[in-house]
C-alpha cells in the first residue's frame, strides 16, 4: 500500500473514532446534530438565522461555527438567539471530529435539543470528515450553477438532506433545475430536497417541519 494512502486512512480512522464519541454524547443528551455544508456564499449562515428565529421557544438551539478566521458567523447566530461557539481552523478547509469535540465541551448538552454545525465553506474537504452529527445537510445555491453535482460528486453523494437556496433568483440567472436535479438523483437517489429562498421565506416552512420532526425523534431515542 502506498505510504500516502496509509497515512490518509490512519487520519480518517482516528477521526471516525472521535466522531463516534461525539455522536454518543449527542445521543445520550437527546440532541439532534446537523452538519451544514456549502460553498462560500451559498447561504449557510442565513439559513441558520432563519432556523434559530423560527424555532425559538420550540427548540433549544446551539450553533458551532467553523471558519478559517473571524467570528462573524458565530456573532450572527448569537444575535439570532442561539448559543454559539466559534471554531477558527487556522487555515484548515474543513472541520473535523476533534475540533467539534472541543466545542462540545463548551456547551451544556443537557439544555439543548438541536445543534447545528456550520462547516467551513468548501465543496471538497468537508465531505471526507465525519463529525458525529446525525445528518449531513448541503446547501446549493442557484447562482453557483446547475453543474455542481457533476463537478463535486463526493459532496452530493454523501449528504442526507439538500437545500436549493436562492430560488428567488431563478428568473435572473442561468440555472437548469431539471439538469441539476438529474445530477443529484444519479449520485444520491431519493435524497430529501427542499427548494428555498432565505430572502423571501419560500420553502422554509417545510425545512423547519423536517428539523422539528428529526429533533423530536432524537429526544424519543434518548428517553
| Number of separate domains in the chain | 1
Residue carrying C-alpha cell 446537523: 34
Q: What is the mean pLDDT of residues 190-206?
A: 98
For 138-186, how does the pLDDT look when each residue is reduced to its tens digit (9 = 90+)?
Answer: 999 999 999 999 999 999 998 999 999 999 999 999 999 999 999 999 9
pLDDT of residue 76: 95
Nearest CA to 51 out of 68, 32, 26, 28 is that of 32
User: What proportion of the chain, given as a percentage, has pLDDT over 90?
Assistant: 84
d(Cα 71, Cα 76) in Å, to the nearest integer? Answer: 9
- Half-sphere exposure of 144 toward its Cβ, with a 13 Å CA cutoff? 24
pLDDT confidence bin for 92, thresholds 50/70/90: confident
3-state helix/strand/coil string of the chain: CCHHHHHHHHHHHHHHHHHHHHHHHHHHHCCEEEEEEECCCCCHHHHHHHHHHHHCCCCCEEEEEEECCCCHHHHHHHHHCCEEEEEECCCCCCCCHHHHHHHHCCCCHHHCCEEEEECCCCCCHHHHCCCCCCEEEEEEEHHHCCCHHHHCHHHHHCCCEEEEECHHHCCCCCCCHHHHHHHHHHHCCCCEEEECCCCCCCCHHHHHHHHHHHHHHHHHHHC
Residue 13's CATH number = 3.40.50.300
Q: What is the mean pLDDT of residues 14-34?
A: 96
Q: For the whole model, what pTM was predicted?
A: 0.91
Nearest CA to 129 out of 87, 88, 94, 90 is that of 94
pLDDT of residue 2: 56
pLDDT confidence bin for 118, thresholds 50/70/90: very high
pLDDT confidence bin for 91, thresholds 50/70/90: confident
Supply the range of the domain harboring residue 70: 3-22+29-222
Nearest CA to 49 out of 18, 71, 81 is that of 81
* Contacts for 111 with CB less than 8 Å, ≥ 6 apart: 60
Could you give the C-alpha distances from 129 to 12, 34, 35, 85, 169, in angstroms and in order? 7, 14, 11, 19, 32
pLDDT of residue 5: 43
C-alpha cell at 54: 423560527
State residue 79 phi and psi, 5-degree precision: -65, -30
Amino acid at each position: 500500500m502506498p505510504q500516502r494512502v496509509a497515512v490518509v486512512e490512519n487520519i480518517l480512522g482516528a477521526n471516525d473514532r472521535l466522531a463516534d464519541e461525539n455522536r454518543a454524547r449527542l445521543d445520550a443528551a437527546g440532541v439532534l446534530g446537523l452538519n451544514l455544508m456549502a460553498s462560500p456564499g451559498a447561504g449557510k449562515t442565513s439559513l441558520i438565522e432563519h432556523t434559530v428565529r423560527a424555532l425559538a421557544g420550540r427548540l433549544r438551539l446551539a450553533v458551532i461555527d467553523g471558519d478559517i478566521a473571524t467570528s462573524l458567523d458565530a456573532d450572527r447566530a448569537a444575535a439570532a438567539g442561539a448559543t454559539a461557539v466559534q471554531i477558527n481552523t487556522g487555515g484548515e478547509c474543513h472541520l473535523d471530529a476533534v475540533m467539534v469535540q472541543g466545542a462540545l465541551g463548551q456547551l451544556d448538552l443537557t439544555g439543548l435539543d438541536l445543534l447545528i454545525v456550520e462547516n467551513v465553506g468548501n465543496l471538497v474537504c468537508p465531505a471526507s470528515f465525519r463529525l458525529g452529527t446525525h445528518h449531513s445537510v448541503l446547501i446549493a445555491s442557484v447562482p453557483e450553477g446547475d453543474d455542481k453535482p457533476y463537478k463535486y460528486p463526493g459532496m452530493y453523494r454523501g449528504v442526507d438532506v439538500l437545500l436549493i437556496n436562492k430560488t428567488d433568483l431563478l428568473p435572473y440567472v442561468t440555472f437548469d433545475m431539471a439538469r441539476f436535479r438529474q445530477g443529484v438523483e444519479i449520485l444520491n437517489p431519493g435524497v430529501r430536497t427542499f427548494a428555498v429562498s432565505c430572502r423571501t421565506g419560500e420553502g422554509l416552512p417545510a425545512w423547519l417541519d423536517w428539523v422539528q420532526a428529526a429533533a423530536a425523534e432524537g429526544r424519543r431515542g434518548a428517553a
